[in-house]
Copies of this chain bind each other. A is one copy, B any other.
């Protein structure tokens, strides 16, 4: 490998110090600074696009858990080369949505049933501190917006619009996080609950569920508005408890989409790629 032109690489160190900027460099950054934000979401690269598409399809179960993915076929499908596809898959592997076996193949992860419970515990812990802080800090206009979201849910429930209901549901929780001043927590919650979200797509139509959830939200919000943090936390806890209600039944009906995880033993795991997942084919 030929080194081109040694200009400032007198030092062979791979880490160069901070590049200094001229005093008026800021004005030149206008064009790039316009779109150069949102590190996790939409970049303008092909890899990001492939990632988003695959992410959506996996979460929505449009690609079934256990399905095999091929970098080559995905590449020709998306009309790009393997490189961006591979980057997307690596990222999905970090989120435990796909499993890459080095020289063998890549599959969409089955839903790790054993992790669902822990994910819900995590979500509860995070949302409780969030709703407590939001009870203190939320402004009047934020309460107005929250009530509007509850109303949107009520309408969606009446119209039996599950998609719209879910969107408003997410927006409700996100708005609470914003009111609390904890945007990172909501981002974290979203990261943790991916497997739960996949499972949600299997929920059976249960009469009155959406209206019940709406009422639970209203209870949380009412307590918040009274600045009663404890009561709001209790209401939120009660609300999130409802999540794990029908999980065993859902699992029973779609056994092939789940996997029992035996012993995750990743304690000081070097920031490891992902927990080892033992698949237990129960044919």
A: which residues have CB within 8 A of B?
A: 1-3, 9, 11-21, 23-40, 42-45, 48, 52, 55, 63-64, 66-70, 73-78, 87, 90-91, 93-94, 96, 99, 101-102, 104-105, 107, 115, 118-119, 121-122, 124-126, 128-129, 170-171, 174-175, 177-178, 182-188, 190-192, 256, 263-283
Contact = CB atoms under 8 A, between A and B. Distances in A.
A36 B67 contact: no
B283 A183 contact: no
A11 B283 CA distance: 10
Residue in A23, A45, A73 with the greatest tally of chain B CB atoms within 10 Å: A73
A63 B15 contact: yes
Contacts of A170: 268
Nearest to A72: B26
A191 B265 CA distance: 14
B121 A37 contact: no
B187 A68 contact: no
Nearest to A42: B272
Contacts of A28: 67-70, 73
Given A66-B31, A68-B16, A118-B184, A52 B271 contact: yes
B38 A266 contact: yes
A140 B96 CA distance: 33
A269 B63 contact: no
B268 A36 contact: no
For A29, A126, A129, which residue has the most chain B Cβ atoms within 10 angstroms? Answer: A29
Given A18-B278, A28-B73, A118-B184, 6 more contacts: A37-B104, A39-B93, A39-B102, A90-B90, A119-B184, A121-B185
